[in-house]
Structure 1
Amino acid sequence: MNEDILALSARLGEICRARGITITTAESCTGGGVGCAITAVSGSSEYFETGFITYSNTAKTQQLGVSESELAEHGAVSAAVVKAMVAGACRASGAHYAVALSGVAGPGGGSVEKPVGTVWIGFGSPNASDALCYRFDGDRHAVRTEAIEQALAGLIERLSGVPDPNDPPIL
């Protein structure tokens, strides 16, 4: 694991601890790489209990509740599916926030619409999420590494301004 990923993981851990936030992952093309990065930080069990590797569409449906119709209509590498993965991972784990990734790491499997290097990353909670599409260059290892870095950086960006989930709601 490279130093940039370890530094991002450490920063994510600081934010989660300071704010009392728990996180989970739902990964396809990265095969558990984000969860591996998060748990490389000592004490990560305070904010990370479980992650999901849902490489197949069947796993996405069975473990995270992604609908077969969403997969058929949009394909696994899509905003709709990573958003559904986020919601499903939060529900299944009880975590406050999740990151979900689905993409084409290569060297095969790409198409004109979704070439090799296309990765959708979703961020959010059980009730609200956003998704961004990235196009990473390089071989399979490079695509997966860049996706892991972007997933961690995106979580940090989004969680930096999130209030403590244990605070009373502002009315």
Structure 2
Amino acid sequence: THPLRIDWLPVEGDKGSIGMTLCPGKYQPVSWTGGWDRQLGLDVESLKDSGTRKLVSLVTNEDMELLRVTQLPTIVQASGIEWTHLPLTDGSAPSARWMRRAAQVFTELQTSIPEGERVVVHCMGGLSRAGTFVALYLNLRGYTMAEAIEKVRTERDVRCINPEQEAFLFGLEQ
């Protein structure tokens, strides 16, 4: 298991930062990003060592079963990292219901990250759902949606945020 890669996307002037990664402990022998057999305990240690105070999980319960990380909430919380679960179906854009649930989290992050909190967001691969979440956060922090999407793709991966999610994000600006 190579070290967990966390891509940090700091906002100028903030004492903390928001980061993106793949699912800690991910087991997926065949995927379009390659085979994965990570160790959950080691990945949570990496999060802790990076100063992460909160982990926002966008994976569904079914995703956690598929990736063999059903113990993720327990192990993360036992490490002292706050765990927030906002499940979003893989590849999909957020629904109005999901956005209502996420509103409180975004409100908290707009205060806690500037004050120094380090927050990591993940989905299965840390690309589409995580990218969408971070773009929403950056937009709330003053970036245009185009700037937010570009920052996510530049700092994490050009494959971040699929076309459906991109259309959703740009639709919010209208």
TM-score (norm 1): 0.35
Greater length-normalized contact order (CA 8 Å, ≥ 6 residues apart): 2
